[in-house]
A and B are shown apart, each in its own frame.
Chain A
Amino acid sequence: QVQLQESGPGLVKPSQTLSLTCTVSGGSISRGAFYWTWIRQLPGKGLEWIGYIYNSGNSYYNPSLKSRITMSLDTSKNQFSLRLNSVTAADTAVYYCARDYGSGLGSFDYWGQGTLVTVSS
């Protein structure tokens, strides 16, 4: 059974960098055709797809956030990470990591429990 778990600071100051890591268990992130994905949910609102990284290291980011995002893989630790620069209060959200099943389906079959990140001084 695949499990994902987000970790990182729950509080980030405005203009600083939000950094989160997702640890995957029950399967190797370097195997298969999966896209390792970040999604966020703004308070009381809907879901926003942030982007994904593939096991080759290729990535695709939401154009609305692209200038501020970096995603990376650490296959030795079976982890993938998100960095979001120059954060503002508008980036306060629950951040989820998820597995995109791939094969062109674009559906998210496994999710982490989510981690709340608050941007505040």
Chain B
Amino acid sequence: QKEVEQNSGPLSVPEGAIASLNCTYSDRVSQSFFWYRQYSGKSPELIMSIYSNGDKEDGRFTAQLNKASQYVSLLIRDSQPSDSATYLCAAPFSGGYNKLIFGAGTRLAVHP
């Protein structure tokens, strides 16, 4: 198993729907997670971080962490076409907060 795995998509949702992006991880990463958004041709930008079990909400975004099942999710409520991007899940290597390992990313397409 890769350290951090994501479905590459594309995930296609209609405008106004909830988009659910998932990420699974192995024991080789520390349980502190980051969600980055990357528009085509641009650099990644941080949108959420989570390190505690449960949910963390920020505006239309909710990150969910389930340590028992080793997955982390990002929910986007009221999806907009401007949310269309690739979403990268990342976590630090165990014992090394300086080094992040990234999933391959899930491409989200929100259609009007």
Q: Do the two chains bind?
A: no
Enumerate chain A interface residues (CB-CB to B < 8 A).
none
